[in-house]
A = this chain, B = another copy of it.
Amino acid sequence: MTRPNPISGFPEWAPAQRMIEQRVIDRLRETFELHGFAPLETRAVEPMDQLLRKGETSKEVYVLRRLQADAEDPSDSGLGLHFDLTVPFARYVLEHAGKLQFPFRRYQIQKCWRGERPQEGRYREFLQADIDIVDRDALCPHYEVELPLVIADAFAGLPIPPIRMHVNNRKLSQGFYQGLGLAGPMAAIRVVDKLDKIGPAAVADQLRDALGASEEQAKACLALAEIRASDASFADAVRALGVSDPLLDEGLAELVAVVEAAAEHAPGLVVADLKIARGLDYYTGTVYETVLVGHESIGSVCSGGRYDNLASAGDVRYPGVGLSIGVSRLLGRLFGRDLLTVSRPSPTCVVVALPDEGDRVRCMRVAAALRGRGIPAEVAPAAAKYGKQIRFADRRGIPYVWFPGPEGEPDAVKDIRSGEQVEADAATWQPPAEDRRPRIAGA
């Protein structure tokens, strides 16, 4: 067999990077559970008709086929890999509504797959970490305030650059366009969503050409999209544009609540940014995008919004609000720039040196005693010269080598970084806390 090559778009982290990813996941999970979110995993596959409900993403889906497809058992035909965690979650809620307590808050940290053309920060296989709160019939707007605060808590404990969340409200935009007299408010939202990509002149052209907006109306749309503030002052700026509509008022009130609560609980986190639209049709209230400060070019690392109509069965609706962290996109950037490192690529803290192969059982007992007190330990692979056994530890960044004493004499442990060696008893010796487990650090 020849040496295999990587597959474009399917990243694989080295063990040291996977350690960092696990710590990041641990931190997210810990935060989500402190906020009362229950864990959930859904299967990797959904029926194709579920996946294609949101027409826009159809081109990205990976379809499955069994190599030896079985005409007698079609139970796994017509399946595709999920491309996000929102569609599977909406399906899960409908399937299990009778067994869930509403409002239901869950988190879900799983791989997703999209057949997109790979580029920096865009993968074909990637890890997402989602939180959502869904209720039956109606969902209180205060959950739209709560979710960004959970994300802020989760990121606060990570040694990474700060985040800034850009928030808008669909009711605000839609109400504004209605109040302005524009015929297709959702179509206007989709045009304005392209502002960063195509620029204000092209947006104005499309508003005029495709939606029949007047010069005046297009100008007002662009003026709205320019409004940005980290406090409730954005509301005055909107009102100064002279448009009035009940839906606009509702959206303004909701966005003010989000911005003010964030300013109190997590100062500097949230800015009202009225050009944020999100392409997806199903958002109906607050919409969120999040940049990693200094790394805006990779796009949003945490996006989401409120959706009132994603899950419904018969007369019953399950409105929800969710945020999704793009863990792979975030880590891909931080790994690529060496902005997140770990102190060693092996979990081992102590290598127990082996005086002779006949001492292996004794050395295994030493390692077991250390492990019993939470100190990761392994026995050296072979009874080579001690210099070679020390190099075994050194090449892996393992800080300590343990030397079992001759019969009746005490053991010793050596810090191979400093060369310092002390007598030690496997039942009591403690490494410094910072050496026990690999440490994660930012730049």
CB atoms of B67 and A59 under 8 A apart? yes
Interface stretch of the complex, out of A95-103, A201-209, A410-418: A95-103
CB atoms of B44 and A4 under 8 A apart? no
This chain: copies in complex: 2
**B-side contacts of A142, CB under 8 Å:** 360
CB atoms of B61 and A95 under 8 A apart? no
**B-side contacts of A29, CB under 8 Å:** 22
One digit per residue, 1 when the CB lies within 8 angstroms of any chain B CB and 0 when it does not, for chain A 388-400 equals 0000000110000
Given A38-B347, A117-B73, A313-B1, verify A43-B94 contact (CB < 8 Å).
Answer: no
CB atoms of A34 and B374 under 8 A apart? yes
**B-side contacts of A3, CB under 8 Å:** 94-95, 97, 313
Q: Is A91 in contact with chain B by the CB < 8 A criterion?
A: yes
CA distance A135 to B381 in the complex (A): 10
Report which of B36, B111, B125 forms a contact with A348, defined as CB distance below 8 A: B36
CB atoms of A347 and B37 under 8 A apart? yes
CA distance A70 to B65 in the complex (A): 18
**B-side contacts of A68, CB under 8 Å:** 58-60, 115
CA distance A48 to B67 in the complex (A): 10
**Interface of chain A: mostly helix, strand, loop or mixed:** mixed
Q: Is A106 in contact with chain B by the CB < 8 A criterion?
A: yes
| Nearest chain B residue, comparing its CB with the CB of A13 | B41
Report which of B9, B19, B146, B361 forms a contact with A264, defined as CB distance below 8 A: B361
CA distance A437 to B10 in the complex (A): 36
CB atoms of A396 and B59 under 8 A apart? no
**B-side contacts of A61, CB under 8 Å:** 66-67
CA distance A39 to B15 in the complex (A): 5
Q: Which of the listed residues A58, A66, A146, A377 has the most CB atoms from chain B within 10 Å of its own CB?
A: A66
Q: Is A234 in contact with chain B by the CB < 8 A criterion?
A: no
Would you give the shortest CB distance from A216 to chain B, in whole angstroms? Answer: 40
Q: Is A50 in contact with chain B by the CB < 8 A criterion?
A: yes
Interface range, A side: 35 or more
CA distance A29 to B22 in the complex (A): 11
CA distance A345 to B35 in the complex (A): 14
CA distance A115 to B77 in the complex (A): 10
Q: Which of the listed residues A91, A346, A379 has the most CB atoms from chain B within 10 Å of its own CB?
A: A346
Would you give the shortest CB distance from A18 to chain B, in whole angstroms? Answer: 5
In A341-391, the 8 Å CB interface with B consists of 345-348, 360-361, 364, 368, 371, 374-379, 381-382
CB atoms of A45 and B79 under 8 A apart? no
**B-side contacts of A81, CB under 8 Å:** 64
Report which of B7, B15, B94, B377 forms a contact with A76, defined as CB distance below 8 A: B7
Given contacts A7-B43, A58-B68, A63-B65, 8 further A-B contacts (CB under 8 A): A2-B313, A8-B76, A14-B96, A33-B347, A34-B376, A36-B347, A60-B66, A61-B67
List the 3 closest pairs (A to B, CB-CB), nearest first: A36-B378, A36-B348, A66-B115
| Residues of A near any B CB (own CB < 8 A) | 1-16, 18-19, 21-22, 29, 33-45, 47-48, 50, 58-68, 70, 73, 75-76, 79-81, 91-92, 94-97, 99, 101, 103, 105-106, 111, 113, 115, 117-118, 124-125, 135, 140, 142, 146, 149, 153, 261, 264-265, 311-314, 345-348, 360-361, 364, 368, 371, 374-379, 381-382, 395-396, 437
29 A-B residue pairs with Cβ-Cβ distance under 8 Å, sorted by A, are A3-B94, A3-B97, A4-B50, A7-B45, A7-B47, A7-B79, A12-B92, A15-B38, A15-B39, A15-B40, A18-B38, A18-B39, A18-B41, A19-B39, A33-B347, A34-B371, A34-B375, A36-B346, A44-B44, A44-B113, A44-B125, A45-B125, A60-B66, A61-B67, A63-B64, A63-B66, A67-B80, A68-B115, A264-B361
